[in-house]
């Protein structure tokens, strides 16, 4: 591709005329290597196919906090659905068309006396089927270790200052069990529709590191 000549060495340019940038590739981690090996083994044994894996990844990538917000908004307006969600989170999500997969989903309710927060101390287990990809901070060692030991301090760093008398419960996700927080419905929302309520529900409020937005 032709390009104008400037006062620099061609060693600094790619064949297209753009400056080279240093690669930021890093060696694969142990778990990344294991994931690749397992995927290739499943394909080799004809347990699944590359196309099926790709389709599943694309399906998971389409998940977002909006799915969880729809579930929470329904629980706010429908007492029967709320009871269903708290009794069997997986079945309640299925009832709204959201497939939770084989994992058990448990909904924990915030009240005037109790605030719940979710973590995975072992790795980064997260209700991806309902909330999409986890935020980067959720996967950090700092969050995973500190929120168990000093939850109030960690929540304060997120801008969430809880009353002294409120109980804070930390829920540790596992390989076969996930948690989602049912936040308290904000005051002043009695006349709002289910769709309008869903707009108030944030990802962090369903993890427990935040609360829903207040109506304007």
In the set 90, 93, 120, 173, the catalytic residue is 120
CB 77 within 8 Å of CB 140: no
In the set 9, 14, 93, 125, the catalytic residue is 125
CA 47 to chain centre: 28
Find the angle CA(28)-CA(37)-CA(25) to the nearest 5 degrees: 20
Is 193 a catalytic site residue?
no
SS3 27: coil
Q: Is the dihedral of CA 162, 167, 173, 176 positive or negative?
A: negative
d(CA 125, CA 74): 25
SS3 170: strand
The token pair that represents 113 in the structure block: 């006396």
Is 93 a catalytic site residue?
no
In the set 124, 145, 173, 205, the catalytic residue is 124
In the set 64, 123, 145, 193, the catalytic residue is 123
Active site residues: 120, 123-125
């Amino acid at each position: 591709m032709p390009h104008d000549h400037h006062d620099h060495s061609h060693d600094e340019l790619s064949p297209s005329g753009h400056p080279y940038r240093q690669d930021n590739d890093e060696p694969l981690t142990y778990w990344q290597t294991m994931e690749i090996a397992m995927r290739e083994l499943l394909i080799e044994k004809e347990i699944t196919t590359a196309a099926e894996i790709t389709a599943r990844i694309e399906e998971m990538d389409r998940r977002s906090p909006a799915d969880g917000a729809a579930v929470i908004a329904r629980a706010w307006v429908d007492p029967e659905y709320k009871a269903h969600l708290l009794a069997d989170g997986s079945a309640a999500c299925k009832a709204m068309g959201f497939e939770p997969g084989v994992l058990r989903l448990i909904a924990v309710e915030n009240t005037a006396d109790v605030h719940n927060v979710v973590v995975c101390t072992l790795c980064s287990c997260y209700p991806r089927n309902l909330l999409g990809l986890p935020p980067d901070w959720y996967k950090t060692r700092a969050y995973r270790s500190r929120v168990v030991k000093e939850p109030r301090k960690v929540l304060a760093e997120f801008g969430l200052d809880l009353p002294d008398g409120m109980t804070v419960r930390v829920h540790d996700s596992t390989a076969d069990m996930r948690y989602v927080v049912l936040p308290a419905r904000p005051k002043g929302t009695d006349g709002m529709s289910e769709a309008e309520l869903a707009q108030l529900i944030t990802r962090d409020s369903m993890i427990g590191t935040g609360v829903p937005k207040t109506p304007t």
